[in-house]
Amino acid sequence: MNLRKMIKNLILNSLKKLEIDINISDIVVEIPKNKKNGDFSSNIAMHLCKKLSKNPKDIALEIVDQIKEDYIENIEIVNPGFINFYIKKSFLFEGLNTINKLKEDYGKSDIGLNKKINVEYVSANPTGILHLGTARGAAYGDSLCNILEFAGYNVTREYYINDAGNQIDNLGLSIYIRYKELCGFKEELPENGYHGQEIISIAKEIKEKYQDTKLDEDLEFFKQIGLEKLLNQIKVDLKRFRVDFDIWTSEKDIRKKGRIEECIKKFKKQDDLYEKDNAVYLKTTKYGDDKDRVLIKSDGLYTYLTPDIAYHLDKIDRGYDELIDVLGADHHGYISRLKASIKSLGYDDSKLSIKILQLVRLIKDNEEVKMSKRTGKTVTISELIDEVGVDAARYFFSLRSLDSQMDFDMDLATKKGNENPVYYVEYAHARICSILREAKEKKIELATKYESSMTDSAYNLISKVYEFVNVVEDSAIKKQPHLITNYLYELASLFHNYYSKERILTDNIELSKEKLAIINSVKITIKNALALIGVSAMERM
């Protein structure tokens, strides 16, 4: 039951009766912070005052006069023209039946209208193991996809594998040199070589399997083994982090399909290319970029941007309505050049939305943790999971907006107490499960009819449960998974307050049934909300 949508439709129907033409998307209905101002409030009268050349309070009165609904307890008009709606408590109570029947489907929405969205995230170069910074992007991307699907969008999760170009050549060379070292031939790594322990481990595997028989092997041999080993490790780590992809797209395949040449041809047709110092430039300033970008360097090799443009052309040609890229903090300047490139190809750049994730500081014992104990470098996803668990990691990464820097407090994430937000929320779910188990043993079922008066704490709790649909829709539209965690904490807080004030199972069986129906709806909502951010709902703690 989407109460906000119902109020919007009430206003829309009222305006139709008044022969005032307006789109439902222009009708804003919000939940007041202060419950004294109603369950819902709208500023539609102020929005229309200029169009109708009337006082907003007079417009509000005309709108309200047209509204006659049984589930509305009262409507107030507050200066300068806010319309505040109060829902009948009995109506809220009876709606619990729907929630308790829907179970895992409660909160789903159809606002996405099956719109096709491609979300590309993580996409770390397969030249090493995944580290802390990647974990935040992985959590955000996966949670966003969950939320979009729940809101009715047709979502494709995609990982772009940079398996071609200089970085892969350097990967193969780094493994080869480490292999030569193991065979007794000392050689320095190239300036842009890879020094990670994982490179040494791959070289050791090659040495154990082939001894010194691969010293004269082509570099391609080492590149392919390195790619296969590291990409497999990336997949293992992501799976452990509860992150899956529908498509793994290879840069090598994009190149083989001739998509780069196709882009160059289109740029030439638009007269958007020129040569300077033996390099080929794209006129991205023509489309809003701060400077033109090199596509082909003076040595004839492509820049990092060129296959990226071809990759985005490939995604566009697959028929998506929207593309979302989740990129690291060092890619901020990438937004304008990529959007300009899409414009030059003749497409609407508004189809592309780029989300930049900000840095994460790992805090332990009130100090920043910069180094991995195992590798001597940045902490890996695997080490983070070992330290705090998947649930805490996923929840904490969803606590903040992606564009804000965050401190990940490892001590807090592992603390078993109310100050730990994930523990606080999971404990609410576990506590409800415990009560429901006890009720089952006593053969007390959920109510389907409600006769008892509703207390303020019950009313506030049920009202918050009904907000879930709105939060899902807002989170999907704004692409902000942290709205889910904000909501979860508020819902858990209201439940704990309700539990502290009211005994659920009493000698009054009918009243107990009603209270069980209330807390069961809370359990369903918490479980569904946690699932959206990749966190399990604990039944026992």
Write b or e for each residue in 121-158: b if 16 or more Cβ atoms lie within 10 A of its Cβ, otherwise e: bbbbbbbbbbbbbbbbbbbbbbbbbbbbbbbbbebbbb
CATH 2.40.110.10, domain 418-532, yes or no = no
Query: What is 116-161+243-356's CATH superfamily?
Result: HUPs (3.40.50.620)
Q: State the Cα–Cα distance between residues 205 and 222, nearest whole angstrom.
A: 11
Rg (C-alpha) for the chain, rounded Å, is 28
Name the residue among 417, 518, 503 with its Cα closest to residue 461. Answer: 518
Q: State the Cα–Cα distance between residues 178 and 397, nearest whole angstrom.
A: 36
Bridge partners of residue 72, in order along the sequence: 87
Return the domain boundaries, the chain: 3-87, 116-161+243-356, 166-237, 418-532
State phi, psi for 193 to the nearest 5 degrees.
-75, 170
The three-class DSSP label of residue 325 is strand
pTM of structure: 0.92
Query: In this structure, what DSSP letter does residue 287 have?
Result: G
State phi, psi for 286 to the nearest 5 degrees.
-65, -20
Structure-block tokens of residue 308: 């990226």
| Contact yes or no for 532/146 (Cβ under 8 A) | yes
Query: In this structure, what DSSP letter does residue 302 have?
Result: B
CATH topology of domain 3-87: Gyrase A; domain 2 (3.30.1360)
Asked if the peptide bond before residue 307 counts as cis, ω within 30 degrees of 0, the response is no
Question: Parallel, antiparallel, or unpaired for β 40-42 and 82-87?
Answer: antiparallel
Name the residue among 523, 526, 519 with its Cα closest to residue 458. Answer: 519
Q: State the Cα–Cα distance between residues 122 and 161, nearest whole angstrom.
A: 10
Hey, what amino acid is at 225?
I
pLDDT in tens, the chain (541 residues): 788 889 999 999 999 998 888 888 889 999 888 888 899 999 999 999 888 889 999 999 999 999 988 889 899 999 999 999 999 888 888 889 999 999 999 999 999 999 999 999 999 999 988 988 899 999 999 999 999 999 999 999 999 999 998 899 999 999 999 999 999 998 888 888 898 889 999 999 999 999 999 999 999 999 999 999 999 999 999 999 999 999 999 999 999 999 999 999 999 999 999 999 999 999 999 999 999 999 999 999 999 999 999 999 999 999 999 999 999 888 888 899 999 999 999 999 999 999 999 988 999 999 988 765 455 567 889 999 999 999 999 999 999 999 899 999 999 999 999 999 999 999 999 999 999 999 999 999 999 888 776 788 998 899 999 999 999 999 999 999 999 999 999 999 999 999 999 999 999 999 999 999 999 999 999 999 999 999 999 999 8
The three-class DSSP label of residue 280 is strand
